[in-house]
């Protein structure tokens, strides 16, 4: 498929409204996956909402305050939850835009892969930095599972929303 054929296909063009709406849903799926994972982990540990309280304390008061001890307070939980959802929605919109490009230009898939790997490394770097102050209150494997769950949910949703990706991938290596 040539660039002209891809850009002239009516289903390959997404409007800005479609991208934003898809991004909103994509971000919400990712955010909810993380929230549910940490809720399950916190409930299993017998301390519901501890993770959002911990991260909200870091967000509002810094890592030193969180290292001194965290109590679950509505302000910290709400602040972190709002921040978390806004970041995921913004990322979802960017991801939705990239997927609409991916549908037209399959090479964008490599950009998405590199972006995913960079984001994962960034999350681990933040965890290591915070881990020094939080003395093991936030485990790396919890973050890894949460990121994988959210990434999988977001990718599956986007894959379903962009059916033109699979045919483009099938012909990606064809000689022109």
Q: Note the pTM of the prediction, 2 decimals.
A: 0.80
Q: Where are the domains of the chain?
A: 14-163
pLDDT score at 171: 67
From the list 19, 9, 12, the residue with the least C-alpha distance to 89 is 19
Q: How far apart are CA 102 and CA 129, in angstroms?
A: 34
Name the least confident of 8-22, 74-88, 125-139, 162-176.
125-139
Instruction: Express each pLDDT in 31-66 by its tens digit.
Output: 999 999 999 999 999 999 999 998 888 888 877 777
């Amino acid at each position: 498929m040539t660039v002209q054929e891809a850009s002239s296909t009516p289903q390959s063009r997404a409007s800005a409204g479609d991208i934003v709406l898809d991004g909103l849903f994509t971000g919400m799926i990712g955010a909810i996956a993380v929230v549910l994972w940490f809720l399950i982990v916190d409930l299993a540990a017998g301390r519901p909402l501890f993770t959002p309280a911990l991260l909200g304390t870091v967000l509002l008061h810094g890592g030193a305050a969180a290292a001194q001890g965290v109590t679950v307070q509505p302000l910290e939980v709400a602040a972190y939850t709002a921040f978390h959802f806004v970041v995921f929605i913004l990322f979802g919109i960017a991801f939705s835009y990239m997927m609409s490009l991916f549908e037209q230009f399959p090479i964008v898939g490599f950009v998405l892969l590199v972006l995913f790997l960079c984001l994962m490394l960034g999350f681990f770097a933040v965890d290591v930095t915070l881990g020094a102050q939080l003395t093991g209150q936030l485990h790396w494997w919890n973050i890894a599972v949460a990121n994988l769950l959210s990434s999988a949910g977001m990718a599956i949703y986007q894959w379903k929303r962009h059916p033109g990706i699979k045919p483009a991938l099938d012909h990606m290596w064809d000689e022109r």
